[in-house]
Chains A and B, each alone.
Chain A
Amino acid sequence: MTGGQRKPRSGPGGFVPGGDAGAGQAGSRQRPDELGDLLARVALGDADAYAAVYGRTAGQVLGIALSVVRDPAQSEEVAQEVLLDVWRSASRFDPELGSAAAWVMTMAHRRAVDRVRSEQKAAEREQRVAAAEIAYDEVTEAVEARLDRERVRRCLGSLTELQQESVTLAYYGGYTYRQVAELLGVAVGTVKTRMRDGLIRLRDCLGVDA
């Protein structure tokens, strides 16, 4: 970090929304992506850098696996697969395409969703509608992780209830938009719009805030 640059808020959570991805963020400016720099070193085989990447991302990776997959043992499997893929494919991270945090979390979310959809346990998934609420009591209380969590929670609060519902079912529940429409008894077009508008609001809230 060179002197005079504002240090982006990151820590054990390690998340800087937007990172280097100026595209798509209203009024964004280039911000140093610490996690991206760590990944560049991981790509060179730097084990210390990988341990640092782990420190900043593992909690979120496991958290989203637990949220989507639910079963603790399978969640840990998925999370570990993702974290190993981060090590294995660090050289493939391209900062031009987005932040390092988004790269890791996109990998994590996709892997979790793939796992849960391949299981096709209908009954278990029905239960998850009720459990789509975010369980805050499970969350780590490390200061910066808590700040990240509270910021996201606050920005989620800027969405309408209907938008929150669709976004939550999709992201934390791992449902497709068609499944969400079916669960809520709403038209697919409506769900698509709520998801898109909800994420746009979330993006704008985080973008302004960061």
Chain B
Amino acid sequence: MRRRSDVHTLAGAYAMDAVPPSERAAFERHLAGCGECRQEVRGLSEAAASLAAATAVQPSAAFREATLRAAAQTRQLPPADAAPPAPWRALRRQGLGPRGWRPRLGVALAGTVACVLAVVAIVAGISAYGMHSRLDQDQGHDHAVAMVLGAPDAKMMSAPVTTGGTATVVMSHRERALVFTAADLRVLPSSESYELWLMGPAGNKPAGMINVSGSGKMASPMVVAGLSSGDRVGMTVEPAGGSPHPTTPLVVVIALTGA
């Protein structure tokens, strides 16, 4: 009992960085197992931080200029985890987001997604995939792809295709849309095509025919919009012109989870 109360009394010193390094680890171990202590430390840290107001000074203009200039040349860390980090949640509450559209891909997406982006960028640049007959359709499509990839809450999911290859989805709850792409798909005879489906509680909706580039077995990126929670995206092999409903078993399905 006495030992326990000793540990608790460290909370004030800890909140002011007044616990020597040799004792800090032990206290932090204690904090890890004591929610009440964590809450107390949090409140005391807020109070301690307020003490800085009493010693505020006016930095020189030179200091300001040097600091802002250095920041402009400093890379920023991406969010720590794949789930939407707290700042993005705060942003969504405020209805804010990136001004105009400038992709902050390095910030928003984890490293592996950069590979997907490279694939998508390459495929998007291959005009020979020939799905679009009008230039403005191309631009609209590219913009839609970019909006999802550049969304601050963009999340990537991949799954193997049972008949060969890998399907990848980058989705954004904020945009309520996803970009679907696939690589190394088994080449189908001309009588068949891969078809994409948006599957939800209300049933399966056709989401478009998947166009595989002639040589590379790479599917051009497709945008599926109007997502709802609980939706899944899946792919089947259908007759070349597509079907209103899946007629064969799903060869891949990806659940659109997370919020």
Q: How far is the CB of A70 from chain B (nearest CB, A)?
A: 12
- Chain B residues in the interface with A (C-beta under 8 A): 6, 8-13, 15-20, 39-59, 63-64, 66-68, 70-72, 74-80, 85-88, 90-91, 94, 96, 98-99, 104, 107, 152
Smallest Cβ-Cβ distance to B42: which chain A residue:
A24
Partner of B56, one of A97, A149, A202: A149
Q: How far is the CB of B251 from chain A (nearest CB, A)?
A: 37
Number of A-B residue pairs with CB-CB distance less than 8 Å in the complex they form: 259
Q: How far is the CB of A56 from chain B (nearest CB, A)?
A: 10
Compute how far the CA of A17 lies from the CA of B53 in the bound complex, rounded to whole angstroms.
10
Q: Is the Cβ of A36 less than 8 Å from the Cβ of B90? A: yes
Chain A residue contacts of B44, Cβ below 8 A: 24, 196, 199-200, 203
Compute how far the CA of A135 lies from the CA of B87 in the bound complex, rounded to whole angstroms.
36
Question: If A84-B74, A91-B107 touch, does A196 touch B9 (CB 8 Å cutoff)?
Answer: yes
Partner of B47, one of A47, A84, A199: A199
A113 on the interface (CB 8 Å rule)? yes
Question: If A24-B42, A45-B107 touch, does A63 touch B13 (CB 8 Å cutoff)?
Answer: no
11 contacts between A and B (CB under 8 A): A15-B49, A15-B50, A37-B94, A58-B59, A92-B79, A98-B42, A105-B49, A110-B17, A139-B56, A148-B53, A176-B20
A129 on the interface (CB 8 Å rule)? no
Smallest Cβ-Cβ distance to B58: which chain A residue:
A140
Compute how far the CA of A97 lies from the CA of B80 in the bound complex, rounded to whole angstroms.
15
Contact with B along A135-158 (1 / 0, CB 8 A): 110111010010011011101100
Chain B residue contacts of A156, Cβ below 8 A: 51, 54
A160 on the interface (CB 8 Å rule)? no
Extra contacts besides A37-B91, A156-B54 (10): CB < 8 Å = A24-B43, A58-B64, A87-B76, A92-B80, A92-B85, A139-B56, A148-B56, A152-B53, A177-B10, A203-B46
- Max count, chain A CB within 10 A of own CB: residue among B49, B77, B79, B88: B49
Chain B residue contacts of A203, Cβ below 8 A: 43-44, 46-47
Q: Is the Cβ of A64 less than 8 Å from the Cβ of B55? A: yes
Chain B residue contacts of A87, Cβ below 8 A: 71, 74, 76
Chain A residue contacts of B18, Cβ below 8 A: 170-171, 175-177, 180, 195
